[in-house]
Amino acid sequence: MTTPSKRRSVAQEAAVTGTGLHTGAETRATFRPGPSGTGVVFRRTDLEGAPHVPARLSEVEALERRTAIGHGSVTIHTVEHLLAAVAAHEIDDLLVDLSGPEPPILDGSVAPYFAALTEAKPVEIEGEPTLLTVQAPFTVTEGDASYLVAPSKRLQLTVTIEFPHPLIGRQVGSYEISPESFARELAPARTFGFTSEVAALQAKGLIKGASTASAIVLDERGVVNGGRLRWPDEFVRHKAADILGDLALTGGRVRAHIVATKPSHSGNVALARALARAAKRSGVPAMDIGRIMDVLPHRYPFLLVDRILEVEGEKRIVGIKNVTINEPFFQGHFPGHPIMPGVLIIEAMAQVGGMLLLSHFEAQNVEDKVVYFMSLDNVKFRRPVLPGDQIRFELEMIAFRGKTCKMKGQGFVDGQVVAEAEMMAVVVDK
């Protein structure tokens, strides 16, 4: 895996059909070429309007025994094996049509997805891929799972698992991920479960589609139904493949050495969030709306940042907000005479500042943190902001102590200052 210069999609369609592990629903998953820059996007073709769910951290909904994305009736369960195949092929842009709520479990491994994508003929397309690289080591912990992330030019996964079962015990595996090595060493490794857990999982409405054909099922002594392992350490290999699938939710190709101990889906997603925030991204000038939503808790109508243009370490950040006539506040502020409320200009400035402040906490889980603004000083409104304006916010860190900081910000429209303020903020645990 040398430094790639082109994004990748597929040249043609390919599909797999089968039963979902948790929902038990019969679903067909069809891979289709995606235009450059779209990322990996699921479409629920069984629902009215075929709603889209991007494979991004902002969409993560549930993490028990699987990774589910979307929301409410548009939830898509168990995306990790499909996404592991996408990541292993280094595919950046792809449409995945689903005729039901869950990609099929198939034999419980990533291999059928990897084969379907090979059949769809991965090809280079226009545009530069997004690479996530880290400059310095950091750790992430979530429940029993812990991860050390270290700089590396390639993606390497070193995984340790421990299960008190005679066939598993402690297993350690280290894998340098390339399409070829993944196909050989990880793709065929199947998911596994224990007969002792079946009743509890069924009671939660999970594993409705489970069978000994779609997983390694273990009782106290060994594999039930006379099943055979593909490798003695098939278990740790599968967990490594799961990590790759969950990392695809960063929206980029990760280049780092990840040392994972007792990984879980919630741990993998915490790891992905830490990478999304801390890693340097190439191939994109800044953060798009997907990454902003990975970091900030704000949502419509209160998400007031459209794009981060520049981040200079932890010192300076530049973000923009496009102000359109469709903003909900224009309806009443004022009828027939729309002007953006000054306090919302400052709120937008503060949200850009929050992105800068949260970048200090790169090793921790950003979803557990929230930025509170404590004081505003020297607030000045210089010019009105009208529909059609693009506000460019530039913020500088003046002081940073513990969890508290002071930032100075200015908002510009067409190069003219519209507002300025100094703000004190603190990062607190939710």
Residues in contact with Zn ion by the rule CB under 5 A: 191, 242
The two three-digit tokens of residue 140, written as one number: 């992430």
With a CB cutoff of 8 Å and minimum separation 6, the contacts of 317 are 308, 310, 311, 352, 353, 355, 356, 394, 395
103 touches 27 (CB < 8 A):
yes
Exposure string over 15-48, b if 16+ CB within 10 A, otherwise e: ebebbbbbbbbebbbbbbbbeeebbbbbbbeeee
Nearest distance from residue 81's CB to Zn ion, in Å? 6
Task: Tell me which residue of 139, 170, 137, 149 sits closest to 239, measured CA to CA.
Answer: 170
The Cα–Cα gap between 317 and 371 comes to 16
* Residue closer to Zn ion, measured from CB, 218 or 293: 218
Closest CA to 264 of 102, 80, 63, 78: 63
CB of 223: closest distance to Zn ion in angstroms?
A: 17
In angstroms, give the least distance from the CB of 312 to Zn ion: 39
Smallest distance from the beta carbon of 333 to Zn ion, in angstroms?
50
User: Which stretch of DSSP H or E encloses residue 21?
Assistant: none
Least distance to Zn ion, CB of residue 76, Å: 15
Quote the least distance from Cβ 85 to Zn ion, whole Å. Answer: 12
Do 55 and 41 meet the contact criterion of CB atoms below 8 Å apart? yes
Q: Which residues pair with 162 in a beta bridge?
A: 170
Q: How many CA atoms lie within 13 A of 399 on its CB side?
A: 7
Q: Give yes or no for a cis peptide into 301 (omega within 30° of 0).
A: yes
For the four alpha carbons of 207, 209, 212 and 215, in that order, the dihedral sign comes to negative
> How far apart (Å, rounded) are the C-alpha atoms in residues 207 and 381?
57
* Tokens, residue 131: 């690479």
Q: Which is nearer to Zn ion, 242 or 327 (CB)?
A: 242
Which residue numbers are catalytic?
265, 333
58 versus 191: smaller Cβ distance to Zn ion? 191
Nearer Cβ to Zn ion (86/423): 86
CA angle 368, 86, 122 (to 5 degrees): 150
Burial of 231 (0-12, 13-18, 19+ CB in 10 A): middle
Distance of closest approach, residue 110 Cβ to Zn ion, in angstroms: 8
Q: Which is nearer to Zn ion, 210 or 427 (CB)?
A: 210
Q: Which is nearer to Zn ion, 65 or 307 (CB)?
A: 65
**CB of 207: closest distance to Zn ion in angstroms?**
12
CB 157 within 8 A of CB 240: yes
> Is the peptide bond prior to 361 cis by the omega test (within 30 degrees of 0)?
no
Please state the closest distance from residue 184 (CB atom) to Zn ion, in A. Answer: 18
Nearer to Zn ion, 89 or 369 (CB): 89
Phi, psi of 169 (to 5 degrees): 65, -130
User: Which of 147, 330 has the CB closer to Zn ion?
Assistant: 147
Our CA dihedral for 171, 177, 178, 179, rounded to 10 degrees, sits at 60
Which CB, 83 or 346, lies closer to Zn ion?
83
- Residue ranges of alpha helices (H) inside 123-218 are 179-181, 198-203
